[in-house]
Structure 1
Amino acid sequence: MTPMLRDLPDPERAKPCVLVIDDDEAVAWAIAGRLGRDFRVVGVSDPSQAVTLARELRPGVILCDISMPRMTGDEVAFALSQDIATAQIPFVYLTALVSPEEGMELDAVFGDHPAVSKSATTEELREVIAWALGIDDD
């Protein structure tokens, strides 16, 4: 019996999921546009929804803005770390506070989480995500 089209796997679901948490939804759209070929990017502009969405999506990595109203990136990281379902998801700070060159200097400044500049090149974003996912990005 030939499988029906609706029974075939969704190629978008096969891509590693990247959850982007940023109060500016344009940031998630920009990242999705730059990385959408290789990753399934889902954005949320309300950081208080991060834990719930992370539990539902089971993303491979979370990129989170540091400076947001209502809930900072540190508060999001702490909330995720307190939930057994989300505590092991790799977490990377996403910031406009530094240039791409300074991004690597932020590693471990905010806990054990690396940081990447919002103005990083597509290749730099890919490298950080691949590193967080534990995959070789050649």
Structure 2
Amino acid sequence: MPALPDPQKAKPCVLVIDDDEAVGWAIARRLGSDFRVVAVGDPAVAVTVALQERPGIILCDINMPRMQGDEVAFALSQDPGTADIPLVYLTALVSPEEAPELAGVFGDHPAISKSASTEELREVITYFLGVED
């Protein structure tokens, strides 16, 4: 008998790149069962994981050791397999109210505060995925 498809793989994938493992866990819990969250703690493997997982959106920390968020964004933009994946920066540097002030600061990529509400996080993700929440 052939194996049944994995229902997890049918969910939209959100790739979280953050050196703090707890951030990936927290986002996975906050997004509930509607999304498949893949967390990466080492930004140097982000392109490889993105090529394997084919996320619909990438949430990337800005301030990480060894490789900053803008370096990750640049590396992703250089690979044809990942260049078109929307990237949103995650930051603890500003409050949710201040996050809109970062528009344009990091190139074309928007930013969202790590302390944004679950509703705000879901709105950003569903917007870039083009799905209704």
Query: TM-score, normalised on structure 1?
Result: 0.92
Alignment partner of 1:9 out of 5, 11, 14: 5
Asked if 1:57 corresponds to 2:53, the answer is: yes
How much does 1:108 deviate? 2.1
Which range moved further: 99-108 or 45-54?
99-108
Task: Give the aligned partner of residue 86 of structure 2.
Answer: 90
Task: Give the aligned partner of residue 27 of structure 1.
Answer: 23
Identical-pair percentage: 75
The one-letter code sitting in structure 1 at the alignment partner of 2:40 is V
The one-letter code sitting in structure 2 at the alignment partner of 1:67 is N
1:51-101 per-residue CA deviation (whole Å, 9 max, x = no partner) reads: 000011110000000000000000000000000000000000000001011
Report the RMSD for the aligned CA atoms in angstroms. Answer: 1.1
Asked if 1:67 corresponds to 2:77, the answer is: no
Size of the aligned set, in residue pairs, is: 133
107 and 136 in structure 1: CA distance in 2 versus 1, 3 angstrom threshold: farther
Asked if 1:119 corresponds to 2:110, the answer is: no
The one-letter code sitting in structure 1 at the alignment partner of 2:101 is E
SS in 2 for 1:101: coil
Query: TM-score, normalised on structure 2?
Result: 0.95
In structure 2, list runs of 5 or more residues that go unmatched. Answer: none
Counterpart-to-counterpart distance in 1, 2:55 and 2:39: 11
In structure 1, list runs of 5 or more residues that go unmatched. Answer: none
The one-letter code sitting in structure 2 at the alignment partner of 1:118 is K
The one-letter code sitting in structure 2 at the alignment partner of 1:55 is L
SS in 2 for 1:110: coil
Q: Which runs of 4+ in 1 moved over 6 A?
A: none
